[in-house]
Amino acid sequence: MSVTITAADINKLRQTTGAGMLDCRKALTESNGDFEAAIDWLRKQGQKVAAKRSDREAKEGVVIAQTTADNKSGIVLCISAETDFVSNNADFVAFVKSIADAAISNNVNTADELLAVSIGNEKVADMINDKLASIGEKIGITRFERVNAPFVASYIHGANRMGVLVGLTKEAAEAGKDVAMQIAAMNPLAVDESSIAPETIAREREIAIDQIKAEGKPAEMAEKIAVGKVNKFLKDNTLVHQPFVKDNGKSVADYLKSVDADLKVIEFKRVALG
């Protein structure tokens, strides 16, 4: 059964991928309206399309990343808004910061737990509803992440538009900040290749093979070239293999080893307004 492709569907795909209107229409038609399949179709045609990233939640809002006093835990919180007028308002930023403080002081692990926390005599859920009523915009907790590790570093970038947490194997404040800034700038998918889902790797391999076949190369050659493309994908998208932004002559893994032979990244969280 065919589906109707609307102008809104085409525009959404165009905004996400940067591809042309006609290409977006054809991609949606070929994928029977499946948005993710349409993105894959465009990539298989050789178009430079950014993969969908889960760290982008809302276009406007405030992101706060902070750690406990002992740096053993950290949280990153996004409360969304509809306009930059609200996002840039000092009172709204302070409001979000007060909720982040409550998350830290109450050892909160999830967004649902946070909504039930009280600040003074009022629950966070009620505070958000009151704020919504007072400013006339829809607001809400769109992301809440937590990291626990022997040492956690936090970083906020771009006037509260992005927050990063990095869990390390041992205390290293300067290195933690450097790695957090790396994650903010380079947006890796995972710490290393073992942290990337097998289905993601299989998807990249399939796309690479179809791209190569579309160029007219034989199937056996496509298989070999695809291995190199997947390896490049892993290098570009895994934190430890990325070139270190402060010194492109070494990888992030090399940088960490230069600080301390036993220093490693356990996990990270990156939340960004998009």
Taking only the tens place, the pLDDT of each residue in 113-155 is 999 999 999 999 999 999 988 998 889 999 999 999 999 999 9
142 and 265 in one domain? Answer: yes
Question: How large a percentage of the chain has pLDDT more than 70?
Answer: 96
Residue 110, in any domain of the structure? yes
Q: Is residue 224 part of a domain?
A: no
pLDDT (tens digit, 9 = 90+) per residue, 13-60?
A: 887 788 888 888 999 999 999 988 898 888 888 777 755 544 444 689
- Both 31 and 152 in one domain: the answer is no
The residue segments making up the domain with residue 261 are 60-192+245-272
Rounded distance, CA 116 to CA 168, Å?
A: 30
How confident is residue 274, by pLDDT bands cut at 50, 70 and 90? confident
Domain assignment present for residue 205? The answer is: no
4 and 131 share a domain? no
Q: Please state, rounded to an integer, the average pLDDT across all residues of the chain.
A: 91
Joined together, the tokens standing for residue 66 give 């902070």
CA–CA gap between residue 142 and residue 109 (Å, rounded): 14
Q: Could you read off the pLDDT of 180-205 as tens digits, one per residue? A: 999 999 999 999 999 898 998 998 88
**Cα 124 → chain centroid:** 25
Examine the domain organization and report whether 163 and 105 are in the same domain.
yes
- The rounded Cα 227 to chain-centroid distance in angstroms is 26
Residues 6+ apart with CB under 8 A from 173: 71, 151, 153
Query: Which helix (H) or strand (E) covers residue 149, if one does?
Result: none
More confident residue, 260 or 213: 260
> Residue 27 falls within a domain, yes or no?
yes
Residue with tokens 């996400």: 16
Across 244-271, average pLDDT = 96
Cα separation of 217 and 78, whole Å? 46
Give the domain CATH number at 12: 1.10.8.10
How far CA 23 is from CA of 3, 43, 175, in Å, comes to 17, 11, 44
d(CA 163, CA 268): 11
pTM: 0.77
209 falls within a domain? no
